[in-house]
Amino acid sequence: MLAAASWAKRLRAGLARTRQAIGGGLGSLLGRRRIDEALFEELEAALICADCGVDAAHALIARLRERARRERIEQADGLRAALKGSLTEWLSPLERPLQVPAPGGAGGPFVIMVAGVNGSGKTTSIGKLAKWLQGQGRSVMLAAGDTFRAAAREQLAAWGERNGVPVIGQQGGDPGAVVFDAISAARARSIDVLIADTAGRLPTQLHLMEEIRKVKRVADKALSGAPHEILLVLDAGTGQNALAQVKAFDEALGLTGLLLTKLDGTAKGGVVCAIARAQSIAAAAPRMPLRFIGVGEGIDDLRPFVAREFAEALVD
């Protein structure tokens, strides 16, 4: 219970800037006693300011307007609870926790490959994810697949030391070879989860996108079915550009989930709503889940995404 309360507090603090964009705008509207169309229009503008995106903001307000009519909400202060409820419903399709096999399972490690653009926070997120997995009772190994940037290997090694987990890597080597060796080492040591870092790249860097496809193919050769999870790390500060990143990396790799970082450093946390909107109109099914969100620099500031928690922290 204390841990849950602590996370709720950190989440609320992490979303302070986004909440100011949404909640601050809403708070100024709550002084009105009656609901009118101007109130809905100003609230829609507040959502757009928080980078929800025009389409998502418009659809959310349409849903809120219908809810207010259906539930006969006549006072503006009643919109706060209604907005939280509408946001929770809107974001719930993104809530699908990562399913990791039980400790000690046969067949080799559960392999997670992590991708993203430069500076998105991949390596730091891997360190935090390793800590979270350890808290779930899993043994973890890290693979330093970013072989081009020495600082990335050193940073991952530091996270490995901090968490007490082994790190497999080599200087200037082939990233596919690193992942292959790491899978072999994880199998030999009966490790539950292997997390493979990869070099940051832009979707427009076609040769690097082909390289990461190769890493995926090599992983499958080392262990049939690997990687079992392919996470794209997104920097919340990129706002709407995150949607283009999702599309490009999904086409290249077949993503299984998203990890949104740096929510504490931006007022653009509403991009989660935009992601939900994009998923709702995508032809592919099932929708791509938002596995984790990060709201700070602390090792425990990465947790699974829960729609209700997020909506409450965003509006309250």
Give the tens place of pLDDT for each residue, 247-259. 999 999 999 999 9
**Sheet holding 229-235: strands in order across?**
167-168, 140-143, 193-196, 110-115, 229-235, 257-261, 290-294, 302-304
Give yes or no: residues 139 and 230 share one domain: yes
Considering 94, 119, 154, which residue would you say is the last residue of a domain? 94
The answer to whether residue 72 sits within a structural domain is: yes
pLDDT-derived band at 130 (thresholds 50, 70, 90) equals very high
Give yes or no: residues 82 and 180 share one domain: no
Give yes or no: residues 88 and 227 share one domain: no
The answer to whether residue 210 sits within a structural domain is: yes
The answer to whether residue 102 sits within a structural domain is: no
What global pTM score does this model have? 0.93
Total structural domains within the chain: 2
88-129: pLDDT as tens digits: 999 999 999 999 998 877 788 999 999 999 889 999 999 999
pLDDT-derived band at 2 (thresholds 50, 70, 90) equals very low
DSSP secondary-structure letter at 180? H
pLDDT the model gives residue 221: 96
Give yes or no: residues 37 and 180 share one domain: no
Give yes or no: residues 78 and 212 share one domain: no
- Close Cβ partners of 54 (under 8 Å, ≥ 6 residues apart): 48
Can you tell me the distance from the alpha carbon of 189 to that of 272, in angstroms, rounded to the nearest whole number?
A: 38
Query: Crossing angle for the helix pair 122-135 and 150-163, nearest 10 degrees?
Result: 20
Can you tell me the distance from the alpha carbon of 291 to that of 195, in angstroms, rounded to the nearest whole number?
A: 15
The answer to whether residue 120 sits within a structural domain is: yes
Give yes or no: residues 182 and 154 share one domain: yes
pLDDT the model gives residue 15: 87
Q: What is the CATH number of the domain that holds 45?
A: 1.20.120.140
Considering 94, 127, 148, which residue would you say is the last residue of a domain? 94
Whether 169 and 144 have beta carbons less than 8 Å apart is answered as yes
The answer to whether residue 104 sits within a structural domain is: no
The answer to whether residue 264 sits within a structural domain is: yes
Q: What is the CATH number of the domain that holds 118?
A: 3.40.50.300
The answer to whether residue 310 sits within a structural domain is: no
pLDDT the model gives residue 184: 96
37-94: pLDDT as tens digits: 888 888 888 888 888 999 999 999 999 999 999 998 887 778 888 888 999 999 999 9
Proportion of the chain above pLDDT 90, given as a percent: 55
pLDDT(27) > 60? no
The answer to whether residue 99 sits within a structural domain is: no
Give yes or no: residues 288 and 243 share one domain: yes
Q: Which domain holds residue 244?
A: 110-305
Proportion of the chain above pLDDT 70, given as a percent: 92
Give yes or no: residues 191 and 295 share one domain: yes
Give yes or no: residues 30 and 163 share one domain: no
Give yes or no: residues 206 and 289 share one domain: yes
Give yes or no: residues 50 and 170 share one domain: no
Q: Mean pLDDT over all residues of the chain?
A: 88
Give yes or no: residues 121 and 238 share one domain: yes
